């Protein structure tokens, strides 16, 4: 009887060992700031290839995500576009203390799909466009940075009537892509691989550094895949991807 039971256990263990990695894989729900979408997709693919686990990504504005998190949304990892809300998540009991870190530092750019349209700060001072897109500054840190930069250049009051706001940086980018605005303040990571067009990398001196922090949420505290994804985000492989998309790291 004991020998039969041991034999059955051995066969069970052998069966698990023979299962494909996907059969044993876990998953985690990740809320990702819209500006980081392309990089996050590539990182998630690399994470799955290495671990077999899946990071299920949702994209949107940092402010909207935080509201959803406070209302019980089932996200387990939060990749914000700022460093304020992950800290706030910990302070208010939604995040795990000691898990917050800066995964990327963003670069604001002025972008147009038209070649030669953007030549530098003079583009903002010339009367050569009707609309300029930004993300909602209340919900998206890149929108706040855009306003800060325009004020620093002394053009905000003049340009204010031309501003069209997207709910997120993704929608601001879409406004430019669809021609609803000739120009837009977007993230370098969104356009670094764009074919054609023109852009100006806004000097860092014109806006507060966009430190993008990550945090493990309370909902993911018991999920090894959630913890694993955050660990992978700090790995050399992930850092290389992040830098390829125009973000700075390690500062």
Residue 2 lies in a domain: no
52 and 100 both lie in a single domain: yes
Residue 192 sits in the same domain as residue 129: yes
Cα–Cα distance, 30 to 40 (Å, whole number): 10
pLDDT of residue 127: 84
Distance (Å, whole) CA 23 – CA 18: 10
pLDDT tens column, 96-120 = 999 999 999 999 999 999 999 999 9
Predicted pLDDT at 250: 74
Same domain, 52 and 112: no
Q: Which domain holds residue 56?
A: 24-105+210-244
Q: Are both 119 and 77 inside the same structural domain?
A: no
pLDDT band at 20; cut points 50, 70, 90: low
Total of domains in the chain: 2
| Cα–Cα–Cα angle for 14, 222, 67, rounded to 5 degrees | 140
At residue 12, the pLDDT reads 46
Residue 113 and residue 56 in one domain: no
Residue bearing the bigger pLDDT, 16 or 167 = 167
> 98 and 160: one domain?
no
Give domain status of residue 251, yes or no: no
Both 80 and 201 in one domain: the answer is no
Question: What are the Cα distances from residue 64, in Å, to 95, 142, 151?
Answer: 16, 14, 25
Buried b (16+ CB within 10 A) or exposed e, 88-98: bbbeeebbbee
Asked whether the predicted pLDDT for residue 4 surpasses 70, the reply is: no
| Structural domain contains residue 115 | yes
- Residue 54 covered by a domain: yes
Q: Is the pLDDT of residue 16 over 50?
A: no
What's residue 251's pLDDT?
A: 57
Task: List Cα–Cα distances, 249 to 87, 105, 144, in angstroms.
Answer: 19, 6, 21
131-162 pLDDT, tens digit per residue, is 999 999 998 999 999 999 999 999 999 999 99
Distance CA 94, CA 29 (A): 15
Per-residue pLDDT for 15 more than 70?
no
Phi, psi at residue 36, to the nearest 5°?
-95, 10
Query: What's the pLDDT at 25?
Result: 78
Q: Are 215 and 101 members of one domain?
A: yes
Whether 16 is covered by a domain: the verdict is no
Predicted pLDDT of residue 8: 45
> What mean pLDDT comes out for the span 173-180?
97
Identify the CATH number of the domain in which residue 150 sits: 3.40.190.10
CB-based contacts of 120, cutoff 8 Å, min separation 6? 200
Q: Is it the case that residue 215 has pLDDT exceeding 80?
A: yes
Q: What is the mean pLDDT of the chain?
A: 92
159 and 135, same domain (yes or no): yes
In a domain, 57, yes or no: yes
Residue 111 and residue 232 in one domain: no
Q: Is the pLDDT of residue 3 over 70?
A: no
Residues in the chain: 251
Nearest-angstrom CA–CA distance, 149 and 86: 24
d(CA 190, CA 187): 5
């Amino acid at each position: 009887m004991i020998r039969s039971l041991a034999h059955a256990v051995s066969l069970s263990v052998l069966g698990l060992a023979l299962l494909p990695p996907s059969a044993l894989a876990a998953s985690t729900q990740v809320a990702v700031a819209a500006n980081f979408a392309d990089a996050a997709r590539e990182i998630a693919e690399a994470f799955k290839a290495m671990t077999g686990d899946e990071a299920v990504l949702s994209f949107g504005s940092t402010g909207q995500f935080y509201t959803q998190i406070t209302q019980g949304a089932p996200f387990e990892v939060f990749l914000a576009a700022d460093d304020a809300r992950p800290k706030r998540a910990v302070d208010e009991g939604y995040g795990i203390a000691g898990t917050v870190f800066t995964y990327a530092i963003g670069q604001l750019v002025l972008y147009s799909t038209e070649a030669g349209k953007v030549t530098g700060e003079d583009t903002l001072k010339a009367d050569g466009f009707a609309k300029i897109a930004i993300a909602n500054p209340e919900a998206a840190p890149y929108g706040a940075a855009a306003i800060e930069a325009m004020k620093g250049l002394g053009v905000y009051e003049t340009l204010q009537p031309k501003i069209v706001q997207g709910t997120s940086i993704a929608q601001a980018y879409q406004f430019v892509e669809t021609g609803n605005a000739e120009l837009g303040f977007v993230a370098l990571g969104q356009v670094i691989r764009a074919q054609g067009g023109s852009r100006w990398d806004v000097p860092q001196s014109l806006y507060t550094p966009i430190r993008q922090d990550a945090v493990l949420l309370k909902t993911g505290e018991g999920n090894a895949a959630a913890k694993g994804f955050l660990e992978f985000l700090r790995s050399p492989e992930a850092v290389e991807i992040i830098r390829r998309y125009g973000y700075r790291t390690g500062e």
